[in-house]
Amino acid sequence: MIENQSDNIDNKENDDPNLDSAPEDTSSTQNSTTENDELSSHEKEEINTEELKNTISNNDARLEQLEKEHETLKNQYVRISADFDNFRKRQSRDQDDLKIQLVSKTLTAILPIVDNFERARQQLKPENEEAQALHRSYQGLYKQLVEVLKQQGVSPMRVVGQQFDPSLHEAVLREPSEKLEEDFIIEELQRGYHLEGKVLRHALVKVSMGPGKQNSQQEVEKDTVEEDVNSEVNTSEDV
């Protein structure tokens, strides 16, 4: 009976061949799983690397686009700033020109009064004390007027002995002169004035024709007279 039981046990052991091979199958499964995990991890790394490259490429493209936009905006800002600066300067210049025009118009209307003061000063010759007191009073008014003109930037021209300049002077008369060469100013007929470096009123002047012009004119007149005399002589002889 005991022998039968032992035989049965032996037979069971012989009938189950998977008992010895079970550990080997488990190890193989684990190795396969490890390999799959390694492959999956490698694929994930490749995918992450590719995504990172794409991200970097996209960021570079975006950065380049932003730099172009920045450069465009910078150029627009510089251009607008320059335009505004030019506009501001033009406005300031226009305002200064308008101011000068208004001041010039007003001062030009005052200048004839200054001329009359100067003519009166040259003509008046006070003899008694009352006339002298009146003359001093008049001189005080004239000085006040001149001082106001100076404060407004008005300055008189000094033209006698200067070379004629059509941008500053207006020639009214021309005559020969032994003292001054041609195109030099002999006399000031009406004073000219500057306003802050610009001409407020041109000076009316008498200009020299230079020495020898008078002699040449006399010679021409002499030749004309001689021709007339000769003509009369020839006419009388014919008669």
Helix (H, G, I), strand (E, B) or coil at 172: strand
Q: Which residue has the higher pLDDT, 228 or 171?
A: 171
> Is the per-residue pLDDT at 2 higher than 80?
no
Task: Work out whether strand 185-190 and strand 203-208 pair parallel, antiparallel, or are unpaired.
Answer: antiparallel
The pLDDT, as a whole number, for residue 46 is 72
DSSP secondary-structure letter at 162? Answer: S
The one-letter amino acid code at 27 reads S
In the three-class reduction of DSSP (H, G, I as helix; E, B as strand; rest coil), residue 128 is classed as coil
For the ranges 13-22, 27-36, 97-106, 170-179, the maximum mean pLDDT occurs at 170-179
Mean of the pLDDT values across residues 124-143? 80
Strongest mean pLDDT among 13-17, 88-92, 135-139, 221-225 = 88-92
Burial class (CB in 10 A: 0-12, 13-18, 19+), 237: exposed
Query: Which residue has better confidence, 126 or 208?
Result: 208
For 142-164, letters b (16+ CB in 10 Å) and e give: beeeeeebeeeebebbebeeeeb
Top CATH class, 149-211: mainly beta
Determine the average pLDDT of the residues in 48-71: 85
94 — alpha (psi -120 to 50), left (phi > 0) or beta? alpha
Crossing angle of helices 129-151 and 18-123, in 10° steps, is 160
- Cα separation, 228 vs 205, in Å, equals 37
Q: What is the mean pLDDT of residues 122-147?
A: 81
Q: Provide the pLDDT for residue 216.
A: 47
What is the rounded distance in angstroms from the CA atom of residue 142 to the CA atom of residue 121?
9
Which residue in 203, 201, 167, 199 sits closest to 185, CA to CA? Answer: 203
Quote the CA–CA distance of 231 and 233 in Å, as a whole number.
Answer: 5
Which pLDDT does position 231 carry in this prediction? Answer: 52
DSSP lists the bridge partners of residue 188 as: 205
Residue 101 binned pLDDT confidence (cut-offs 50, 70, 90): confident
* Per-residue model confidence (pLDDT) at position 30: 56
Of the pLDDT bands very low, low, confident and very high (cuts 50, 70, 90), residue 103 is confident
User: What was the pLDDT predicted at 80?
Assistant: 93
Q: What share of the chain is helix, strand, coil (3-state, %, to 5)?
A: 70, 15, 15
Highest mean pLDDT among 113-117, 149-153, 200-204: 200-204
Q: Which helix (H) or strand (E) holds 155?
A: strand 154-156
State residue 207's pLDDT score.
94
The answer, yes or no, to whether residue 221 has pLDDT greater than 80, is no
pLDDT one-digit tens code per residue, 11-47: 444 444 444 444 445 555 555 566 556 657 667 777 7
pLDDT at residue 114 tops 60 = yes
Would you say residue 150 has pLDDT above 70? yes
* Token pair recorded at residue 225: 């007279």
Give the mean pLDDT of the chain: 76
Task: Give the sign of the dihedral formed by CA 7, CA 12, CA 18, CA 20.
Answer: negative
Backbone φ and ψ of 205, nearest 5°:
-135, 165
Q: How far apart are CA 127 and CA 179, in angstroms?
A: 36
